[in-house]
Each structure stands twice: as structure tokens, then as C-alpha cells.
Structure 1
Amino acid sequence: MSNASAVLDGPGSPPAPPAPPTPPRVVQSGPLHGTQLVLGTLALSLATFMNVLDSSIANVSIPAIAGDMGVSPAQGTWVITSFAVANAISVPLTGWLTQRFGQVRLFVASVILFVIASWLCGLAPNIESLIFFRVVQGLVAGPMIPLSQTLLLGSYPPAKAGSAMAMWAMTVLVAPVVGPLLGGWITDNISWPWIFYINIPVGIVAAGITWSIYHKRDPGPKRVPLDYVGLGLLVLWVGSLQIMIDKGKELDWFNSTQIIMLAVMAVVGFLFFLAWELTETHPIVDLRLFSRRNFALGTVALSLGYGLFFGNVVLMPLWLQQYMGYTATWAGMAMAPVGVLAIILSPWVGKNVSKIDPRKLATVAFLGFGLVLYLRSRFNTQTEFSGVLIPTLMQGAAMAFFFIPLQAIVFSGLPPPRMPAAAGLSNFVRITMGAVGTSIFTTVWESRANMHHAHIAESINRGNDAATATLAQLGATGMSPEQGLAMVNRLIDQQAYTLAATDLFYLSSVLFVLMVSVVWLTKPKTGQAMGDGGGAH
């Protein structure tokens, strides 16, 4: 045998036949059906719900976390800020990361790393390690929401893409309401680490089902150069902006040198980022998407609307608990019905978004929000629970008409390869505006309340018969003059903060109505479903 080999391999012998070529990887495509479609939708929705829930679930647990770790509540708020900053940085990277690793691999890896980071957050022995693990959690969470959108849209036929977005929208809208309720209950009845541990079984199930169904639908990784300069500038300006937003109220905004420095870094970093990304051959964020009319105006309408919506979502429970005497449970009950009509109507909106002009559906949402907030602007310190409940219930209907039509406008005409980048970028702007809205609302609320307090307090003097009679009655109950004045001050505070809240509700109502005009500047293709890409498959 060795002699034969020597003869065959010797000089002048014919070359060995080439190795057979590696067969190309078969990538499945097209919509899912039956059980796979149900399980795929469930898994992607679970992952999205877990992600959105985690951005709000820790809010009510900060006092308990700070107390356990022996730090001030102000230091404890970095548990929220660190997640928000990291998440805001990683969301717009979704487009590049999807090309580099493949969307299914990236999504499943994000979910698994999120689970590991959640487990480490629960085990954290001190505030420094908890903040570090929250940064990791925020970074790996970024691609999950945009990719859940694109994977869902690919799972349904274009005609039913609206139904897919209805499922997605329900998880995004309900989770922020459920988060504080669940976080408060877990903190009170178990212990705060369990707000992170509950992610473990949910994430494992979501990752397992997603991989089993979608792994053959992933085109796989592609070598794409990394835009290091763009990434560095993104981290600089987004990080500076997010920290400025989160810490502005606490540090008295532009009376603080730290806030001024952060603002300068955010503005300068953003301008350099803009100039670099628009001239870079392989940008880390595809800003050229904003040259598309529907994407640009749809993202503006979605983001401004979400900022107003989220600012009001944060303001309502604060007002109810701090100045209307509601417990956390009752405030939660007053806000919980918001999901009822959203869940009932979202499937109808999703089914009809490709048949009815999405601008008309979005107009219903903006006018609905305008009506809800106008009703809230009529609140006073005597408003009963039922009076609070009715606008909340109506808000659910507006929410059903909000996300799905606006997402349809944002994605209108986009070819499928650009969908992950578009989803990442539009979600980044939306999430950032949610943070901006929250910060602006809480700051303006306090500022307006101080103004109202000063105006009301001017009339409380010895020349005011009602004020004198009230103080006399309080004195007759055994209160000292100081205690009586403190009680009166508390009543003035209640009036002042209620008037400030109704000011913001009224302003929000007007702004929602005005924003209808932005929606009608878009030109979505009539009858085109989301993800259809105008025939660009």
C-alpha cells in the first residue's frame, strides 16, 4: 500500500481531486404556521416583557436596596440610571450587531446574557457590584426589543404583520404599568433580589423556544468593519445625555457645574457623531434612514407621543400617592385598567392597519390621548377613585391605536435588510424621549407646584377670615400653633401639586392634538403591510 501511495504521489502523477465544496447553508424563510407561530410569538413577547419590565421594576425597590446596602437613596438611584444609560447606548447598535452576528444568534445571546446578568444583580454583595451588573444587563438588553420586532414581523405573512405588532405593542405598553406593582409586592413580601431572579425562568424559556424555532432562519454572521470612532462618540454623547436627564432634577439642573459639563459633552459629542456617521462608509448607526420621509416623521411622532405618554404615566401615581392619600396598591389599581381596552382593541387595530390608512388610526390615538388628558386636567383634591378610573380606562383605547399604526408608518417602504437597523434606531429615539419626558414632567411639576404654593400662601394671613377660623379650629382640637400651621401647609401643598399636575395634563392634551399634523405629513403606501418593503424582498 505504501509503494502504491508513493507511485500515485510521485512526480508526474495526476493531482488529487479537489475536496467537494461545502454546501451552502440552507436558510429557511417565510412565515411560520400553527404551533410554531404561537410558540414563537409567545417566546418573543416574553423576552420583550421581561426587558421592559426590568426598566421599571426596580424603581419602587430603591429604598429597600439602599437600606440593605448601607447607602443613601440618591446613591441607590444609580441602580436605575446605570441600566438606562447602558441600554440607551446599546439599542442603536442593533443594526451593526445584527450584521456581525446574525439576528437570531444575537437575540438568543442577548436573552441568555440578560438572565446571567439578572442572576448576578440578585447576588450582588454591595452597591458597586450591583451597579456594574446593571450596566452589563442594560448593554445586553439593547438589541432584544428591536430584534423581537423584526423576528415577529418575519414570522407572519405581510398581510398579518399588524397582528404581530399588536402582540408586541401589548407587552411594551403593559409592562411599565405592571413593573412598579410587581416590584413593590416582591420587595414587601419576599426580598428585593427576587425582582431580578424572576427573569431567570422567563429568560431560559424564551431563549430555548426562540432558538428551537428560529435558528434555521438566521443567515448567520457577516464580517462588517467596526466603526470605533462612531462607537466612542455614541457612548460619549448618549451616556452624557442620559446621566444629565437622570440627575438633572436632583442636582438642580443648570445651577450645577456637573450638569453643565454633561450638557456640553452631550451636545459636542452629538455634533461630532452626526458629522462622522453621515460620512463614514460603514457607520455604527445608519442615520441615513432619516432621509426617508416616513421613517423620519413617523419616528418623530412616535417618540414625542411616547415622551408625553410616559411623562404622564410617571406623574399620575406620584400625584396619587404623595398628595391624594393613595397607597401604592390603590395607586396601582387606579392605573391597572389602562391595559384592558389596549388588550381588547390591539388585535383589531393590528388586523386592519394594512386596510385602513395608518394615519387615520394614529389620529384616533392622538385625539384619544388629548381627550383623556383634558379630563384629567379637570381633577381636583376632591376627585374620587371612580373619577380617576374612567380616563385611565379610556387611555387603554388610545394606546391600542398608538403603537401599531405609527410603527407601520415608520417601517413603510423599508426593505427587510434595513429593518433591524430601523427598529433599533426608532426604539432608541423613543426610549430616549421617554426618559426626557419623565425628567421634564417631574421637574416642571415641582416648579409649577412651588409657584402655586407661593400664590396660595400669600392669601393665608391674619387678614383672611377663613384662614384665621381654620387655625382656630385646629387649635381647638389640641394642636399647637406650629402644628396647625404645618397642617395648613400640607393642605396648601396638596392644592399646589394638584394644580401643577392639572396644568401638565392640560398642556399634554393640547400637544397631543397639535401632533396630529405631524402624522399627516407622512405618506405611507396605501394597503402595504409592515415588513413588505414595497416589494423589496
Structure 2
Amino acid sequence: MNDAHKNSRDQRLSDEQVRRVLVTLLLGGTVISFSNSALNPAIPVFMSVFDVDIVLGGWVLNAYVLAMSVGLMLSGYLNKRFASKPVYLAAVLGFMLGSVMGMMAFNMSFVIMARAVQGLSGGLIIPLLIGMLYQIYPKQQHGRIMALWGIVIMMSLAFGPLIGAYLVDQFAWWTLFAVTLPLIVIVMAMVWRLIPEPDRGTHDTASPFDTVGFVSLIIWLLAMMIWLSTLKIDFTHGISRRDDLLKIVALGALSILFLLSAVAWWAYERRQSHPLLNVGLFDNKTYLHSNVISITQTVGLMLCLLLLPILIQEVMGESALWTGVVLMVATLVASITTHYAGKRVDKRGARGIGMAGITISALSTLMLAWCLYQPTLWLLILTMSVRGVGVGLAYLPTTTVGFSSLPKDSVTEGAALNNISRRIISTIVITLTTLYIHSRSAQLLAAGSDVGIASAIQEILVIIALMLLFTLPSACKLPRAP
């Protein structure tokens, strides 16, 4: 009787701890998502305040994404080597440091540095959170838990742009960093008091760090981003046909060099017993195809987050508040759709949902490109809402199925690999997009067009739609049931 009572009490305490951990994790994710989304409408404001162009303005987003990639590289090793609680606390403290740096920024470079610090911390937090969620809940509840996670994150993404736009419009840009400080303090207190100390015996303190893999990937990323940044100088001035040909040859040669070096790094990681990133997880076909979908959906989403504020504020001449309204409505629609899709994927799998979501998100992106001929706010709200339905159906359900196909002890590594793949590719595409818009709009304006930047954005949206449609075969490869 006493043993039964003791077991019942332990189970009750365990359930209480699970609920506490869930609330803490969701709030931590909310802070990161809110901070990121609140800054998106302010990119044109940063461009105006610090007198920079769209290429440098895009680094407010790129610096965060690139630094997050570094954090993701480290997360798998730190999760194996150390207890989750101190790593979580250190990452949240780092995010707070980034917020303080942002408040004190006196030029664009300092703003970018602050976002890099926040990105590094966020990259440590996200895979750890997802891994803990998958550890404390059984597989048959993964869809619902990830749907709950998605709703909370989507709500912060929804209200972040509106609150951010209000702060910029009524106060000053630095309040975008200051507003997160009280939330960060609350999260740190909750982590300290509510998350229990883990069993230290479960951590591999002797696990070696893949220094070669880490350093080589960092060098590769930095070299690539520096090279991409120099393209602005090359393509914004008039050049002769001979120079054109030489530049195309150089561009092709460097592209092949970066591709070959990436393949070499991939092969090196596959041979390691303790890799920086467990690229062998891509041997799991369900996980592979879910990543293809999540990467393209992320690229499309982040490009819309970058381009929509510029379109509304620079092209249409509306205030930042309208950017917040459009993004809020679209994200609310996506969160409702995510809730529905999360319940459905537990019963019927992600194949049908994924195919429907990809189709809707691609067609709505084409609709958004068409809207730019005569853009109006109500049409943008409607189109972005339809796109929100597509994102809600395509992104989280397919990602959930991919994670569920992995062993539980590999989910944190899988989350890190998924996130870093999305971040690196998004950073590359965003950089190329800003360079293209800068050069293309200058070319159109020189030719006498008065809608240069709008036409360039329109062309990018068409490319995004086609990219999304090409992922339909991956959705067809997903299982019908979990």
C-alpha cells in the first residue's frame, strides 16, 4: 500500500513538473519569436535612421539568422555534455545581453551586432526546447503538443509586428529591444525555480567536440557571406561586356568552389563518430523530405517578412502600423490553421495536409505578386491570410512528422540540423534577394520606370511560388499516418 501510494505521489509530482516545464518552454520560445517578429516592420526605420540601403538593412535579419546557425551548431554538443538547465539559463542571459546592446546601439553596425548576440542565444534555446518537449510527451501526442507550441509561437509572431510597429511609431526604435527585458527576467526566474535539476549521469561529459567541423563551417559561412556582400559593388555600376563575361566566369567558379567545399564538409561529418551536426539523420527519408518542405516554407516566410514592410512603407507610403496589422492578421490565420492541422496529423499523417499547404502557399504567393500591379491594404490582408492557411498546413505538420520519425534521443540533434539548414539557406537567399532588388530596381529606374522596387519584389515573389511548387514531390513521400 505504501509503495503504491509513493508511486502515485511520484507520478503526480512528475505530472506537475511536466506542466511547469511546458509553460516555461513555451514562454521562452515566445520571447524569442516576439523579439524577432517585432523587429521586422522596423527594417525600413533602421534604414532611414542610420541612412543605409536595403542590402545593409537586410543584415538586421541576416545577422540574427546567421548567428542562430552558430548557436544551432553548438546546441547538440552542449545538450550531450551539460545539463539542460544551466545551458538554457546561459542562453536566456545571452539573449538579455543582446537586448541591452540593442538599446544602446549608436549605429547600424551595433544594431547588427546586438541581433547577432540574440541569434546565437536563440540558436541554443530552440532545439533544446523541442528536444525536451519530445522527451516529456509520448509519440502519439507529438502532433498536439507541437500544435500548441506552434499556436503560442504564432501568436507571438502575430502580435509582435503590431506591437513593434506601435513602439516605432509612437516612441523610438530602441524600445523594440527594451520591451523584451521584463519577459526575459520572468523566463529566467521560471527556469531557475520550476525546471528540475536533471540527472547528471545521463550526460556524456567525455563526448569530444568536433572542433574541425565547427571551425571549418564557420569559416565557410563567413567567407560566403563576405563574398556575397561584395557583389553589391560589382553589380551596381556600369561595366563593359568583357567585364561582364569575366564577372560571370568568376561568379560561376566561386559558386562551384563553395559547393565543393560544402560537399567535402558533409563527407567529413558523416565519417565522424561525434559530428558537429548529425547529417546521417538525412538517411531517414521521412525526415529528409520534411526538411525539404520546412526549408522552402521558411525561405518563403522570411522573404515575405523582409519584403512586406518595404512594400507597405516604401512603395505604398503607409505607416509601420499597417505593416503590423497585415502581418498580425496573416499570422493569426496561420495559428488557427496550425491548431487544426496538429490534431489531424496525429490521426492521418502529413501527406495530404502537406500537399494542400504547399499548393495554397504557392498560389497565394502568386496572388501577392499580382496584387503589386495596384496594391491596396485590404487586398494584401486577404492574400496574406490565404498564405497563412498554406503555411499553417504545410510547415508544422510536416516538421512534426519528420521529428517523430527519429529516435527520441536524436530529436534534439534533428531539431538542430533542421533549424541550421533552414537558417543557412535562408540567409543565403535573403542576401541574394536584397542584392537582386537593389540592382534590379536601380536598373529599372535608370530605364525610366517609376515602379522599380515594386517590380523587383514582384519578380522575387514569382520565384518563391515556383520554388514552393517544386516541393510537392517531397510531400508525396511523407507517410499517410504517423
> With structure 1 as the length reference, what TM-score do the two structures score?
0.74
Matches within 5 A, 1:105-144: 105-123=86-104, 133-144=114-125
Structure 1 pair 160/243, CA: closer, same or farther in 2 (3 Å)? farther
2:450 to 454, 476, 493: 493
Q: Is the 8 A contact 1:49 1:175 kept in 2?
A: yes
For 1:182 and 1:261, locate their aligned partners in 2 and report how far apart those are by CA, in whole Å: 45
Partner letter of residue 512 of structure 1?
L
C-alpha deviation, 1:135, in angstroms = 3.9
Structure 1 pair 329/62, CA: closer, same or farther in 2 (3 Å)? closer
Report the identity percentage: 22
For 1:499 and 1:76, locate their aligned partners in 2 and report how far apart those are by CA, in whole Å: 19
Gaps of 5+ in 2: 1-9, 237-245
Structure 1 pair 514/75, CA: closer, same or farther in 2 (3 Å)? closer
C-alpha deviation, 1:336, in angstroms = 2.3
Partner letter of residue 171 of structure 2?
I
Q: What are the superposed Cα offsets for residues 82-109 of structure 1, whole Å, 9 maximum, x if unpaired? A: 4433222221322111001133332232
For 2:354 and 2:195, locate their aligned partners in 1 and report how far apart those are by CA, in whole Å: 32
Q: What are the superposed Cα offsets for residues 338-382 of structure 1, whole Å, 9 maximum, x if unpaired? A: 022222232222122120121111111101112312322432543
* Corresponding residue number in structure 1 for 2:83: 102
1:49 to 20, 24, 30: 30
Partner letter of residue 372 of structure 1?
S
Matched, 1:222 2:179: no
* Corresponding residue number in structure 1 for 2:352: 360
Q: Is the 8 A contact 1:95 1:420 kept in 2?
A: yes
Partner letter of residue 390 of structure 2?
A
* Corresponding residue number in structure 2 for 1:4: none
1:234 to 210, 217, 220: 217
Q: What are the superposed Cα offsets for residues 137-185 of structure 1, whole Å, 9 maximum, x if unpaired? A: 3323212111221222333332221122113223554555655544443
C-alpha deviation, 1:294, in angstroms = 1.6
Q: Is the 8 A contact 2:41 2:309 kept in 1?
A: no
Partner letter of residue 520 of structure 1?
C
* Corresponding residue number in structure 2 for 1:151: 132
Q: Is the 8 A contact 1:311 1:438 kept in 2?
A: yes
Partner letter of residue 409 of structure 1?
V
Partner letter of residue 313 of structure 1?
L
Structure 1 pair 83/265, CA: closer, same or farther in 2 (3 Å)? farther
Q: What are the superposed Cα offsets for residues 423-459 of structure 1, whole Å, 9 maximum, x if unpaired? A: 00101111223323333444444566567667xx6xx
Gaps of 5+ in 1: 1-27, 458-488, 529-537
1:194 to 175, 200, 215: 175
Matches within 5 A, 1:323-472: 323-445=315-437
* Corresponding residue number in structure 2 for 1:520: 476
**Structure with more helix by fraction:** 2
Q: Is the 8 A contact 1:353 1:404 kept in 2?
A: no
C-alpha deviation, 1:216, in angstroms = 4.0
2:196 is paired with a residue of what secondary structure?
Answer: helix
Partner letter of residue 134 of structure 2?
L
Q: Is the 8 A contact 1:225 1:282 kept in 2?
A: yes
For 1:147 and 1:232, locate their aligned partners in 2 and report how far apart those are by CA, in whole Å: 22
Matched, 1:303 2:303: no
Partner letter of residue 275 of structure 1?
A
Structure 1 pair 403/41, CA: closer, same or farther in 2 (3 Å)? farther
Matches within 5 A, 1:23-102: 33=15, 39-55=20-36, 57-58=38-39, 61=42, 81-102=62-83
Deviates most, 412-421 or 167-176: 167-176
Q: What are the superposed Cα offsets for residues 281-328 of structure 1, whole Å, 9 maximum, x if unpaired? A: 221211111222122222112102221232233223322322233222
Partner letter of residue 295 of structure 2?
S
Q: Is the 8 A contact 1:81 1:246 kept in 2?
A: no
Q: What are the superposed Cα offsets for residues 248-299 of structure 1, whole Å, 9 maximum, x if unpaired? A: 5576499699999986885465344223222222212111112221222221
Cα RMSD, aligned residues only: 3.7
Q: What are the superposed Cα offsets for residues 27-60 of structure 1, whole Å, 9 maximum, x if unpaired? A: x9999646x5555333322222322344454455
* Corresponding residue number in structure 2 for 1:9: none
Q: Is the 8 A contact 1:94 1:424 kept in 2?
A: yes
Partner letter of residue 270 of structure 2?
L
For 1:447 and 1:75, locate their aligned partners in 2 and report how far apart those are by CA, in whole Å: 14
Deviates most, 272-281 or 238-247: 238-247
Partner letter of residue 394 of structure 1?
V
For 2:112 and 2:459, locate their aligned partners in 1 and report how far apart those are by CA, in whole Å: 36
For 1:125 and 1:214, locate their aligned partners in 2 and report how far apart those are by CA, in whole Å: 38
